[in-house]
C-alpha cells in the first residue's frame, strides 16, 4: 500500500505543479492588465492627462473595457478574489467615465438661423478629391479643412471659390504638409486673428443671416511622446479663445483629443458644447478611419456656444484620409 501511494503521489506532483504554475501565470497577467488600466483610469479620475503612454491610451478609454473584462475572467477562473474585486471596481469607474462629459441642455430662444457645418482632416491633402465630392453631396454652409496643403487649397478654390462659386468667402493659413488649413463659407466672412499653433488655425467672423458668429478652426499638435507640452499648450490656447467673447461661436476641427483628455475638457468647461453629443453621437469614432466605426476615438469635433442646438451629426469616410469627416446641422437661437 505504501509503495502504491508513493507511486500515485509521484505521478500527481508534476500535474499539480503545472496547474499551480498556470494559475500563477494567469494571476500575473490579470494583475498586469488591471494595473495598466488602473493607471489610465486613475489619471482620468484625477483630471490629469499624465505622461506617455497615458494620454495616448486615454483617447481609447471605452476600449479599455476589453482588457478589464479579460482580467476579470482570469480572476474568476483562478479564484483570485482580490483581483475580482479590483476588476469590478475598475469596471465601475470605466462605466462612469464613458458617460458623455459636459452640458447638454438645449437653448429655448426663438430660432434665428440654420446652418450646416462640416470639418475634415484630409491628411496632407490626400483626401482632397474625396472631400470635394462629399461637399458637393452634403452641401455644408461652412467648411473647415485641416492638413490642406497648397495643392488642396488650390483644388478647393478651383472647385468652390470665386464670386460665382459655392463658397465665395474663405480664410486660410497656407502651408505644406499638415501646416495648411482653410475655412470656406457661403456666408460673408471678416478676417480675425486665428489661434497661434504649430499648424495653421485660421479664424473669422461669419455674417449668418445678419448674426455675427465667431469661427475658429482647431488643429493642435497631437499628443506625441516628447510633444505633450506643445499639445497641452495649444489646447490651452483654444480654451483661451473660447473664453474671450460671449458671441455665438463655432470651434471646429481635428482637436487631436477626446472628451477623456483633461486638456479637452477644459475647453468644454468654458461653456462650449460638443455638437455630436447634442445630436446623439457622443462616442462615434472619427479616427483612425481604417478601423472606424468598429474601433477608434472621436477626436474631430464641432464645438458650439450655448445659443446653438444640433439636430443631426454624421460621420463620412473620406478616401485617402485617416480621419472621417463630421457634418452637423445647427440652429442658432435667440438668447433667452
Q: Where are the domains of the chain?
A: 2-98, 111-333
Using CB atoms within 10 A of its CB, is residue 162 exposed (0-12), middle (13-18) or buried (19+)? Answer: exposed
Determine the Cα–Cα distance for residues 179 and 189; give it in Å rounded to an integer. Answer: 22
Cis peptide before 293 (omega within 30 of 0): yes
The answer to whether 185 touches 203, Cβ cutoff 8 Å, is no
Question: Looking at residue 8, what is its pLDDT?
Answer: 47
Question: Looking at residue 12, what is its pLDDT?
Answer: 59
The answer to whether 197 touches 220, Cβ cutoff 8 Å, is yes
Question: Looking at residue 16, what is its pLDDT?
Answer: 67
Question: Looking at residue 9, what is its pLDDT?
Answer: 53
Q: What is the largest CA-CA distance in the chain?
A: 104
Grid cell, residue 22, equals: 498556470
Determine the Cα–Cα distance for residues 262 and 243; give it in Å rounded to an integer. Answer: 17
Q: What order of strands is seen across the sheet that includes strand 203-208?
A: 189-192, 203-208, 211-218, 249-254, 300-304, 273-274
Cell 508534476 -> residue? 14
Using only the alpha carbons of the chain, give its radius of gyration. Answer: 25
The dihedral over CA atoms of 323, 328, 332, 336, expressed in degrees to the nearest 10, equals: -90
Using CB atoms within 10 A of its CB, is residue 29 exposed (0-12), middle (13-18) or buried (19+)? Answer: middle
Per the DSSP assignment, residues forming a β-bridge with 333 are 111
Determine the Cα–Cα distance for residues 22 and 13; give it in Å rounded to an integer. Answer: 14
| Residue 189 host element (H or E) | strand 189-192
What CATH code would you report for 111-333?
3.60.10.10
Grid cell, residue 164, equals: 460665382
Question: Looking at residue 10, what is its pLDDT?
Answer: 53
pLDDT tens by residue, the chain, 336 residues: 455 555 545 555 777 677 888 899 999 999 999 999 999 999 999 999 999 999 999 999 999 999 999 999 999 999 999 999 999 999 999 999 999 997 777 888 999 999 999 999 999 999 999 999 999 999 999 999 999 999 999 999 999 998 889 999 999 999 999 999 999 999 999 999 999 999 999 999 999 999 999 999 999 999 999 999 999 999 999 999 999 878 999 999 999 999 999 999 999 999 999 999 999 999 999 999 999 999 999 999 999 999 999 999 999 999 999 999 999 999 999 987
Nearest residue to 124 (alpha-carbon basis) of 200, 178, 187, 199: 178
Amino acid at each position: 500500500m505504501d509503495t502504491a501511494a508513493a507511486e500515485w503521489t509521484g505521478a500527481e506532483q508534476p500535474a499539480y505543479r503545472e496547474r499551480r504554475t498556470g494559475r500563477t501565470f494567469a494571476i500575473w497577467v490579470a494583475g498586469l492588465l488591471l494595473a495598466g488600466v488602473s493607471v489610465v483610469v486613475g489619471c482620468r479620475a484625477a483630471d490629469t492627462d499624465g505622461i506617455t503612454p497615458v494620454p495616448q491610451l486615454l483617447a481609447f478609454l471605452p476600449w479599455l473595457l476589453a482588457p478589464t473584462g479579460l482580467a476579470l475572467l482570469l480572476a474568476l477562473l483562478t479564484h483570485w478574489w482580490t483581483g475580482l474585486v479590483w476588476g469590478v471596481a475598475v469596471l465601475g469607474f470605466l462605466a462612469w467615465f464613458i458617460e458623455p462629459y459636459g452640458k447638454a441642455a438645449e437653448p429655448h430662444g426663438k430660432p434665428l438661423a440654420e446652418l450646416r457645418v462640416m470639418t475634415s482632416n484630409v491628411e496632407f491633402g490626400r483626401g482632397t478629391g474625396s472631400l470635394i465630392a462629399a461637399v458637393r453631396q452634403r452641401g455644408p454652409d461652412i467648411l473647415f479643412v485641416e492638413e490642406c496643403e497648397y495643392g488642396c487649397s488650390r483644388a478647393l478654390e478651383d472647385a468652390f471659390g470665386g464670386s460665382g462659386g459655392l463658397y465665395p468667402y474663405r480664410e486660410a493659413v497656407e502651408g505644406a504638409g499638415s501646416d495648411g488649413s482653410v475655412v470656406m463659407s457661403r456666408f460673408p466672412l471678416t478676417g480675425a486673428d486665428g489661434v497661434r499653433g504649430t499648424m495653421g488655425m485660421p479664424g473669422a467672423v461669419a455674417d449668418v443671416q445678419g448674426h455675427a458668429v465667431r469661427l475658429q478652426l482647431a488643429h493642435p499638435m497631437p499628443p506625441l511622446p516628447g510633444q505633450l507640452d506643445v499639445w497641452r499648450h495649444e489646447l490651452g490656447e483654444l480654451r483661451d479663445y473660447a473664453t474671450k467673447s460671449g458671441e455665438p461661436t463655432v470651434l471646429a476641427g481635428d482637436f487631436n483629443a477626446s472628451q477623456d483628455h483633461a486638456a479637452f475638457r477644459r475647453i468644454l468647461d468654458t461653456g462650449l458644447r460638443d455638437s455630436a453629443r447634442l445630436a446623439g453621437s457622443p462616442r462615434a469614432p472619427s479616427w483612425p478611419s481604417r478601423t472606424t466605426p468598429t474601433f477608434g476615438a472621436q477626436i474631430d469635433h464641432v464645438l458650439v456656444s450655448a445659443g446653438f442646438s444640433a439636430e443631426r451629426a454624421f460621420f463620412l469616410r473620406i478616401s485617402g484620409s485617416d480621419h472621417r469627416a463630421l457634418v452637423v446641422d445647427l440652429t442658432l437661437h435667440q438668447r433667452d
